[in-house]
Amino acid sequence: MSAAAFTGTSVMDIDAAKVRGAGSNVHFDKVSVAYGAHVVLHPLTLDIAPGEILAMIGPSGSGKTTALRAVAGFVRPASGRIRIGATDVTDLPPYERGLGMVVQNYALFPHMRVEDNVAFGLRAQGADKALIGERIKDALGTVGMSAYARRYPRELSGGQQQRVAIARALAVRPRVLLLDEPLSALDAQIRRNMVEEIARLHRSLPGLTILYVTHDQTEALTLADKIAIMRDGRVCSHGPTTELYRRPPNRFTAEFLGRANLLPVTVAEAVGPKGFATARHGDALLTGAGRNEKAGDKSLLCIRPQHLSLTADSDHTNRIVGTLQEVHWQGELTHLVLDVDGTPVRVSATRLPIALPEPGAKVPLFFAPADTSLLPEDAGV
Helices (H), the chain: 14-23, 64-72, 114-124, 129-142, 158-171, 188-204, 217-223, 241-246, 251-256
* Sheet with 79-84, edge to edge strand ranges: 38-48, 26-35, 79-84, 87-88
Give the count of alpha carbons within 13 A of 370, CB side only: 4
- CA–CA separation, 209 vs 207, rounded Å? 6
Q: CB of 65: closest distance to ligand ATP in angstroms? A: 3
Task: Single out the segment in contact with Mg ion by CB under 5 A; choices: 60-68, 116-124, 199-207, 322-330.
Answer: 60-68
| Residues 53/225, Cβ–Cβ less than 8 Å | yes
CB of 230 to ligand ATP, least distance (A): 6
Position 357, amino acid: P
Which of ligand ATP, Mg ion, none has residue 63 at its interface (CB below 5 to 8 Å by kind)?
A: ligand ATP
State the nearest-atom distance from the C-beta of 8 to ligand ATP, in Å: 29
Pairing of strands 298-303, 318-330: unpaired
Indicate the residue among 35 and 95 with the shorter CB distance to ligand ATP: 35
What is the distance between the alpha carbons of residues 348 and 305, in angstroms, rounded to a whole number? 5
Q: Rank residues 74 and 329 by Cβ distance to ligand ATP and give the closer one.
A: 74
Taking the C-alpha atoms of residue 210 and residue 52, their distance in angstroms, rounded to an integer, is: 6
- Smallest distance, Mg ion to C-beta of residue 60, A: 7
Cβ proximity to ligand ATP, 61 vs 353, nearer residue: 61
Looking at the Cβ atoms of 215 and 246, the one nearer to ligand ATP is 215
Least gap, CB of 170 to ligand ATP (angstroms): 23
Pairing type for strands 87-88 and 226-231 reads unpaired
Sign of the C-alpha dihedral computed for residues 159, 19, 17 and 238 taken in this order: negative
Q: Which is nearer to ligand ATP, 68 or 340 (CB)?
A: 68
- The residue (of 58 and 159) whose beta carbon lies closer to ligand ATP is 58
Strands 284-289 and 26-35: unpaired
Q: How far is the CB of 104 from Mg ion (least distance, A)?
A: 8
25 is a contact residue toward Mg ion (CB under 5 A): no
Q: Check residue 65 for interaction with Mg ion (CB under 5 A).
A: yes
Nearest approach, Cβ of residue 349 and ligand ATP (Å):
33
From the list Mg ion, ligand ATP, none, partner contacted by residue 23 (C-beta under 5 to 8 A by kind):
none
Please give the residue ranges that form the binding site for ligand ATP (CB under 6 A). 35, 40, 58, 60-66, 215
Choose between 28 and 276: whose C-beta lies nearer to ligand ATP.
28
Q: Which residues bind Mg ion (CB under 5 A)?
A: 65
